[in-house]
Amino acid sequence: CKQRAAELKDEKLYSQGHERPESDFCPICLLAIPFRMNMHSEFRACCMKKVCNGCGLAGEKRGLSRICPLCRSPPPKNEAEGLDMVMKRVAAKDPEAICHLGTIYNSGGYGLEKDQSHAIKLLYEAAELGSTEALAKIGGAYYSGDYGVAQDKAKGIHYW
């Protein structure tokens, strides 16, 4: 009896899991993108969505080789146009766009000056708006001492 009770408790415990966030699903086919998501999807700056490689390939087969298969926007012609796309989404308070802008400021991409203090502020703003990717980046920043923050492994684990 005690052994079966322990087994039932284990079954109940192990059957409980975290649901994946909405951003882990392809917005076109609605399937979960396999982990190592950066290998199985492409980030689209026009709509701030990750589109799975399958939907990207299906779009290419339909003649949308350079056009986003989700929003049908053409790719940016240069960095300034790409930054304009991101800033439009930031103005609309899109948490993924704010997170992406924080990453851009951290690396100094799109012709912006590298500003790590502004980058971490943007990540916090995105996290407050619900971006799980921003939380993961904040955790990684504290864990490894990136983004100009002091290394604090306990705080990094807390954010993960």
| Prediction pTM value | 0.77
Q: Identify whether the C-beta of residue 83 lies closer than 8 Å to the C-beta of residue 111.
A: yes
pLDDT at 53 over 90: yes
pLDDT at 17 over 70: no
Distance CA 131, CA 139 (A): 13
Distance CA 91, CA 66 (A): 25
4: pLDDT confidence band, cut at 50, 70 and 90? confident
